[in-house]
Amino acid sequence: MALAKSMVAQTPPMGWNSWDCYGAAVTEDEVRGNAAYMATHLKDYGWEYVVVDIQWYEPGAVSSRYRPFVPLCMDDYSRLVPAENRFPSARGGRGFKPLADYVHSLGLKFGIHIMRGIPRQAVHNGGRIKGTNVTARDIAHTNSICPWNTDMYGVDASKEGAQAYYDSLFELYAEWGVDFVKVDDIAASRLYGSHLEEIRLIRRAIDRCGRPMVLSLSPGPAPLEHADFFAEHANMWRMTDDFWDKWPLLLDMFDRCKKWEGKSRPGAWPDCDMLPLGRIGIRNVDGGAGDRRTRFTRDEQRTMMTLWTMFRSPLMFGGELRDNDEWTLSLLTNRDVLAMHRESSNARQVYRDGSRIVWAADGPRGEVYAALFNVGEAPERVSVALSDLGLARAVHGKELWTGRETGVLAERLSADVPPHGAALFRLAAPET
């Protein structure tokens, strides 16, 4: 298990996910278009995953609203397959392989969202489990039901055929060329807690399938008491329920990051959820404002990117990439910020005093990163002693979003920070 898992996500995954802009209704053309944009504009900066979110097996999906008990596309072995009207390249039983091949041809990686469990449709239709004499009904936990999506029953891990079902599922995904799997209703089900036994089944299935895959667990908030279990079995797990472009949710994330401080390590990343930036809500109605540019102000956008990168959360962009403006693109292509995200360690809250919050992280060459946040409603002077950052000598500072140099700092780092804003510094010994 450790060997297979060690092959992926040694740094926090970065990519695009279709949910924030298209909900459950993304089409193949939209996925291909966003992949092409990523290859042209973002790949050189480390962005690499293109993820098709929920309901790709539902022909009639039109928004983020789930349609209970509608027919789903499924093969002879109780496995959901892409709806051909939305993903035409899947015709002829090819599944997602042609789309994954296209994404791979761009030098990128391909991902999908799934719900935990086995389709209700398979259970009620007497569907088979590949390579066994077992049926879907035999392994279904019919009292384990997602409270917000009717598609699936849970899988009873104690039943013969349970592992075989998940093995066959990930065997299929490996054949398609899937590199990333986001599993939902599993990290923190609203009714049942964390589904640890199904996570074990999935981990084992990935390790057996012969293809390295990132395993992402949703939704949150994932329970802190399972941190070691998540780190052993998954590559990322949500610290929050769905995150949207609302200031109270962003403010709350400071507490969540503090709670999970010190729990990150290569291959295992607590996840702040997607970045609702750029144009979102095109067919997703969950965020409460329809088709729009993000409601976050520019200062709030910088705050979010600063906290996500300092904490080393996975970065999954949620907007329609092709509609990015120069400002949005600049948030995703700052090489200094992304170097911190990729290379730093020991992210920690230094202090929180009213509206002033300071976080720090250590760089690989002796530098220290410091993020100064103002979560209040008026401008603030935010300051921190160099000694509190672990620095015992004078340093030279650079603010990473603006490129502004501070000159030599002897005792303190200070900045005037706008409301809901942030300043992010790299501090290093002065050049001689």
Same-domain status, 222 and 96? yes
* Residue 246 DSSP code: -
pLDDT at 20: 98
Asked if 257 and 272 count as a contact pair (C-beta separation under 8 A), the reply is: yes
Same-domain status, 90 and 123? yes
Total domains present in the chain: 2
pLDDT at 276: 98
Interstrand relation of 315-317 and 395-399 (parallel, antiparallel or unpaired): unpaired
Distances in whole angstroms, Cα of residue 49 to Cα of each of 26, 197, 310, 332: 16, 27, 20, 14
* Domain boundary residue, one of 302, 319, 343: 343
- Buried/exposed code over 247-281 (b: 16+ C-beta within 10 A; e: otherwise): eebbeebbebbeebeebbeebbbbbbbbbbbbbbb
Per-residue pLDDT of the chain (432 residues; tens, 9 = 90+): 445 677 899 999 999 999 999 999 999 999 999 999 999 999 999 999 999 999 999 999 999 999 999 999 999 999 999 999 999 999 999 999 999 999 999 999 999 999 999 999 999 999 999 999 999 999 999 999 999 999 999 999 999 999 999 999 999 999 999 999 999 999 997 777 889 999 999 999 999 999 999 999 999 999 999 999 999 999 999 999 999 999 999 999 999 999 999 999 999 999 999 999 999 999 999 988 899 999 999 999 999 999 999 999 999 999 999 999 999 999 999 999 999 999 999 999 999 999 999 999 999 999 999 999 999 999 999 999 999 999 999 999 999 999 999 999 999 999 999 999 999 999 998 874
Same-domain status, 283 and 361? no
Same-domain status, 176 and 62? yes
Bond before 119 cis per omega within 30 degrees: no
Same-domain status, 131 and 239? yes
End-to-end distance of the chain based on CA atoms, in angstroms? 48
Same-domain status, 313 and 397? no
Asked if 276 and 318 count as a contact pair (C-beta separation under 8 A), the reply is: yes
Domain limits at 366?
347-428
pLDDT at 1: 45
Same-domain status, 304 and 411? no
Same-domain status, 306 and 364? no
pLDDT at 192: 76
pLDDT at 179: 98
* Domain boundary residue, one of 297, 316, 343: 343
- CATH number of the domain that residue 58 is part of: 3.20.20.70
Same-domain status, 128 and 191? yes
